[in-house]
């Protein structure tokens, strides 16, 4: 039994079963035993691999995207470049290196990293030491002073807690985690249907069949980002895996050492994520008064930003084995196969309404 499972059992014994959102928040962020708090999960020897860890091209193209948006904003003298959940700091390191070629941008940039994990903060410091840029770390977006900003975030929203609701004959019930009759952690339903449940559930889901599962994620972060961009200008680029239309379905999953494991099996020792509902995200941004660009599939976005040209340039100086790696990386990042990210991952940008079409997102084709 993991140390966190012991802790969860103690809470359940004292307070009764807990909602999925609390379980997820504890698994990922418990101050002593949380998954991200205790380890560096990335890379071939870790639990999973993300786009910036696959190839430097990913961060470089995002850096050039940020510089182009900054120019489109009228090249303000100061710009906050904010990354949420920077992992090992690879995306930011690649982005800053690539933007050395953008005159004025580097001089204007102040880098802000929002990261709760002390282990990953250390990694980020090491990774970015050579950039010679002013960098400040924060535990929460709200700590960052206002001012024009470009926000980037990759595979961060999928780690924010979700609530699961299950349809019964009596309405929508919150899914809970407690201890089953066999003494192991088990899912259960809250005995009461949610009061006002129908108003929480999107209208399209009203007629969902008994047994349907719905996942809801708080709008708080998107509302906060939108308010910031509206007040001071700028844009946010959100990249994650997920779906472009809201719908019933269970996507909560646990991954350890590149394999799926049971969600309740090893609390705190597996990564827990759930798909991002890009339609819900767009609705929240629009409700807050922002403009939404996209969503677009990651593969199409990276092609529009010029990943093929960038790959060709790298291929010119590559050894045969490096060349094979570069070609494989382009396929992994842009391909539409089941183990490729090009279709599964989506890109959306949120911006102040005044900003015109953004690079790569001029025309939405999902
Ligand atoms: N963007 C990186 C890492 C994605 S993993 C990449 O693409 O490789 C998620 C990241 O978000 C990790 O750095 C994790 O420590 C951080 N994180 C998770 N929950 C967080 C929270 N609530 N606040 C801030 N950072 C968080």
pLDDT of residue 193: 92
Question: Where does the pLDDT of residue 40 fall: very low under 50, low under 70, confident under 90, or very high at 90 and above?
Answer: confident
Mean pLDDT of 231-258: 93
pLDDT band at residue 43 using 50, 70 and 90 as cut-offs: confident
pLDDT score of 39: 87
Work out which ligand 1 atom sits closest to the CA atom of 83. Answer: 1
pLDDT band for 207, please (50, 70, 90 cuts): confident
| Per-residue pLDDT, 285 | 97
Q: Is ligand 1 within 6 A of the CB of residue 273?
A: no
Q: What is the pLDDT of residue 204?
A: 65
* 267-274 mean pLDDT: 96
Contact 114 CB / ligand 1 (< 6 Å): yes
* Atom 2, ligand 1: residue with shortest CA distance: 87
Which range, 116-120, 130-134, 302-306, is most confident? 302-306
Order of all β-strands in the sheet with 271-273: 259-261, 253-256, 271-273
Q: What integer pLDDT is reported at residue 199 of this predicted model?
A: 62
Rg of the chain on CA atoms, in Å: 21
Cis peptide before 289 (omega within 30 of 0): no
Q: Once rounded to an integer, what is the mean pLDDT over residues 122-149?
A: 96
Whether 87 lines ligand 1, by a CB cut-off of 6 Å, is yes
Residue in this structure with the two tokens 């050039």, named with its chain if needed: 64
Residue with tokens 């995200």: 281
Paired residues of 238 in beta bridges: 153, 348
Specify the ligand 1 atom closest to the Cα of 156: 9
Residue 205's pLDDT band (boundaries 50, 70, 90)? low
CA–CA distances in Å: residue 170 to residues 207, 239, 305, 327: 12, 37, 49, 53
Do 38 and 268 form a contact (C-beta atoms < 8 A)?
A: yes
Give yes or no for residue 298 CB within 6 A of ligand 1.
no
The β-bridge partners of 178 are 186
Rounded distance between C-alpha atoms, residue 81 and residue 73, angstroms:
13
């Amino acid at each position: 039994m993991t140390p966190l499972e012991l802790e969860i059992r103690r809470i359940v014994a004292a307070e009764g079963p807990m909602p999925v959102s609390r379980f997820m928040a504890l698994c990922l962020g418990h101050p002593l035993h949380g998954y991200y708090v205790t380890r560096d999960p990335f890379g071939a020897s870790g639990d999973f691999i993300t786009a910036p860890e696959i190839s430097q091209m990913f961060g470089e193209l995002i850096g050039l995207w940020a510089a182009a948006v900054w120019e489109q904003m009228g090249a303000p003298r100061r710009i906050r470049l904010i990354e949420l959940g920077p992992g090992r700091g690879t995306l930011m390191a690649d982005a800053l290196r690539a933007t050395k070629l953008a005159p004025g941008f580097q001089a204007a940039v102040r880098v802000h990293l929002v990261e709760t994990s002390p282990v990953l903060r250390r990694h980020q410091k090491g990774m970015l030491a050579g950039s010679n840029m002013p960098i400040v770390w924060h535990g929460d977006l709200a700590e960052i002073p206002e001012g024009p900003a470009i926000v980037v975030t990759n595979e961060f929203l999928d780690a924010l807690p979700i609530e699961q609701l299950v349809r019964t004959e009596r309405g929508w019930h919150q899914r809970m985690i407690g201890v089953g009759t066999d003494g192991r952690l088990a899912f259960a339903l809250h005995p009461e249907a949610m009061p006002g449940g129908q108003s929480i559930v999107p209208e399209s889901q009203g007629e969902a069949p008994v047994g349907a599962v719905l996942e809801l994620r708080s709008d708080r972060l998107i509302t906060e980002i939108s308010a910031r961009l509206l007040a001071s200008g700028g844009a946010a680029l959100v990249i994650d895996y997920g779906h472009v239309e809201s719908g019933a379905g269970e996507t909560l999953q646990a991954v350890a050492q590149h394999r799926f494991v049971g969600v309740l099996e090893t609390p705190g020792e597996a990564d827990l994520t759930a798909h991002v509902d890009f339609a819900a995200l767009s609705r929240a941004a629009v409700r807050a008064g922002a403009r939404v660009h996209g969503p677009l599939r990651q593969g199409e976005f990276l092609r529009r930003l010029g990943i093929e040209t960038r790959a060709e340039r790298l291929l010119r100086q590559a050894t045969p084995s490096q060349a094979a790696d570069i070609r494989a990386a382009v396929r992994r990042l842009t391909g539409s196969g089941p183990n490729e990210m090009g279709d599964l991952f989506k890109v959306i940008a949120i911006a102040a309404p005044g900003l015109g079409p953004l690079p790569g997102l001029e025309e939405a084709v999902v």
